[in-house]
Structure 1
């Protein structure tokens, strides 16, 4: 029997469009078409010189010099072949669509919910700090209570940074590590309900709650798999959860403290945190599955699991240096308003809105701010969006807060700063994309480093601002610059944020 050639039209690979079609090449060097798997009702032989063409009605594969044996004996032999006698071409795994589809949007919704849970309490810690200082532990250990509140946010950022290498080395344990972080955060809130001394808060809220960074970190890094063209928009939506949590938690916390008391309030929040977090964890999964085994060694070697290979070359790129410097400088300034604006408003005796109301409004403004900056980062070069964010928020500090001694001026400040300054983290995904250059392992490591740097900026904001408020260099100046030594602090805030924007000019790319 002469040679046969199977012809299919270009751009219609059968392994993609017909996952049940496969070729089995045997040790006899013959190619068999499995009749029990695919039917070829329109097969028509046509002779061309020394080969024969089998025409198909829709597609064609060219495979000259491959013989086809159709005798009943050979067809009967097929069932007798063992797996080690065959080399099979398996179909390409079909992945969920990127930038859309049910699973991508479910992931984004779940990641946003976890963002609300993890960051809602730290961004409303002022409510608890006030209760601890003035009610629960009145007149005892005020500095210890302040340290517990500061450690919660700072260690949360830094712990997320430390979990990055762990999750990179043990990717198969991701879900387990997330569950452990969820349980640790829930237990920290429940046990804080039974605190009888201020140092108990350092252990529970200050040290155990930050372990929730393990719950949060995979949400931020797996987003790189689910979104590419709309990555900035998706990041903005997810980070808007911080603003939502910072807006809702103060009112939830105040309401519970007033109606059921401190102990019942903390237990209720801890239990609710565990339930809602467990539900939100269900859609958090990879788009690209990890391969179960990788083969190494000679023939007959067993499958050996290997950790993902890490390429550290991104550390030598100038974008990594500029991105780290940008985040460090902006973090040194961006936490100052959240830390001192309530005190500033109270010293001015503002009531509509009060200091707490201003913080809630600033967090609320960051919700559309995150979406806006994320969208702009998809449409414009990154360095332009970084400059817009930094210049706008620095100008708001220098002018709206700097000369703001009335409610209207401070309301305008918190809105502008919430949109442009508090939302800066929405640009992280684009910065990471430029640095990692689509390396699938690098984003987790880079993100963890960025969160650690941001934690350094957060923790240092307390002692640095404390020292600056002791300087009366601008005493007697106009507006906030001359009010209770706030002048130097305002200048420091504006300069650090503006310096971060200057470093961000070097971040070229989209």
Structure 2
């Protein structure tokens, strides 16, 4: 499989850099392969209409794919108020599974889909189109049923499968079209995902109040098709996929990254960050309600987090192209830990304190996924099939953190650990609801602190690798195989 980008001249490589590994692609081989494709016009990487239209289309798909699971709270509230759903056995415990299954499958499905893409790049476009169809059919079917079991199957499982098919190939295409600014491209897609989390939870309640839950689901299904079909047209490979698949530059599925300590350190950071990241997203609305505020105000913290995460994703992606990513990760995660301990644990005894924490949390933690490609790029040595495999592993481990964090935080919430004032109005965030949230705040902050410590270790190890090895790794990012 070959995706060709601008090649570095030999003069740009350090004379002291170690020779490329035996399995690394040779520049002359790539040039030979490109010249063997007669009458082909190769669109440029990092700029041009094709690259930017592909990126914009990816953002639109990400908005709809992640927007629906992120607005599951509004749907859940509507289900809870409708007797047609609540009259069914165990509806209270079964309906929340819709959102949990959707996000869990979206995070974990890449571990299955990316190996298929690795096997044959020609599957990517059929995956995108079939994913749009499956997502539409699942939502349309869900809009015509009131059976809770069918809703779980259609909205929680089938929609997530279709969304995964539509979303996962975008990462592979991105690594073809973007090289020098791939961090910015990754951050843009993450910002598109976060845009859905900002817009749809605001729009969905309005639609539900005017048209009802079933008609709102139909409106979303039709809007998804209207927006994603044109977007999918611009999701295209840079090279003919038949040639890219049959070229002689394919690498085996096993790769030296499996023995690279940097990757395993990053996976550990990703798991720790995931174990903490979803706790404020899940519990800040109930925390705000515990302060005696209205449900309308309780939704404000999530809106602020998701809104500031858009800016954070773009900024972190841009910085990851220019800064040492281990340093960037260490600083951002350490600031997330500091904000959690101080702004949530100490200052969030009022609505203003919660809002300040929401902004700080979105800015410091919201750009984490935008840094992934900066970690993956030197380890994958520019091999797009390997980079997508590593990306799927990161999504999977983040999904593990998402799933595991909820029962951990729930169990901690059941043990009140008031640390200061326990009577009257709370004077610390730790005091809210008699210390009900103290354990989970400490847990989230500790996970962030642990991830920051591992990031610092990775930063130290990276500096010890020396400038020669770093230069050799960076040069590989311009060779796309």
- For the pair shown, the structure with the greater C-alpha radius of gyration is 1
Say yes or no: does 1:499 pair with 2:450. Answer: yes
Say whether residues 1:348 and 2:291 are aligned partners. Answer: yes
Alignment of 1:171-250 (within 5 A): 171-211=121-161, 212-250=163-201
Instruction: Check 1:138–1:381 CA distance in 2 against 1; reply closer, same or farther (3 A cut).
Output: same
Q: Name 2:109's counterpart in structure 1.
A: 159
- CA distance in structure 1 between the partners assigned to 2:37 and 2:244 by the alignment: 16
1:389 aligns with 2:339: no
Give the corresponding residue for 2:341.
398
Among residues 64, 72, 78, which one is paired with 1:131 in the alignment? 78
Q: Which of 453, 458, 463 is the equivalent residue of 2:402?
A: 458
CA apart distance, 1:201: 2.5
1:89, distance to aligned residue in structure 2 (A): 7.7
Task: After TM superposition, give the deviation of residue 276 of structure 1 in Å.
Answer: 1.2
| Cα distance change of structure 1 residues 476 and 315 upon mapping to structure 2, 3 Å threshold | same
3-state SS of 1:115 partner: helix
Are residues 1:107 and 2:50 paired? Answer: no
* Matched residue, 1:98: 45
C-alpha displacement of 1:199: 2.4
- Report how far residue 383 of structure 1 moved: 0.8
- Distance between the aligned counterparts of 1:198 and 1:352, measured in 2? 25
Q: 1:293 to 1:205 in 2, by over 3 A?
A: closer
Aligned position for 1:120? 67
Shift of 1:501: 2.1
2:414 match: 470
Q: Does 1:148 pair with 2:92?
A: no
Q: 1:38-66 CA distances to partner (integer Å, 9 max, x unpaired)?
A: xxxxxxxxxxxxxxxxxxxxxxxxxxxxx
Contact 1:188 1:204 in 2 (8 A): yes
Deviation at 1:125, TM superposition (A): 1.5
CA distance in 2, matches of 1:389, 1:164: 29
**Cα separation, 2, equivalents of 1:279 and 1:461:** 37
CA change 1:98–1:360 in 2 (3 A) is same
> Structure 1: which 5+ runs fail to align?
1-87, 296-303
SS at match of 1:350: coil
Answer 1 or 2: higher relative contact order, Cα 8 Å, separation at least 6. Answer: 2
Q: Is the 8 A contact 1:390 1:501 kept in 2?
A: yes
1:234–1:374 Cα contact (<8 Å) kept = yes
Query: How far does residue 253 in structure 1 lie from its aligned partner after superposition?
Result: 0.7
Decide which moves more: 483-492 or 88-97: 88-97
Cα contact 2:339–2:357 (8 A) shared by 1:
yes
Taking the aligned partners of 1:89 and 1:405, their CA distance within structure 2 comes to: 67
Change (3 A) 1:175 1:318: same
Question: In the alignment, is the contact (CA less than 8 A) between 1:390 and 1:498 conserved in 2?
Answer: yes
Q: How do 1:316-335 and structure 2 match up within 5 A?
A: 316-335=259-278
TM-score (norm 1): 0.77
Q: How many residues align?
A: 415
What secondary structure sits across from 1:221 in the alignment? helix
Hey, what does 1:412 align to over in structure 2?
356
Change in Cα spacing, 1:90 to 1:273, as seen in structure 2 (3 Å) is: closer
Shift of 1:165: 0.8
Does the Cα contact within 8 Å between 1:156 and 1:209 map onto a contact in 2?
no
| C-alpha spacing 1:201/1:480, structure 2 compared with 1 (3 Å) | farther
Report the counterpart of residue 9 of structure 1 in structure 2: none
CA distance in structure 1 between the aligned counterparts of 2:146 and 2:245, rounded to whole angstroms: 53
Quick check: 2:334–2:449 contact (8 Å CA) kept in 1? yes
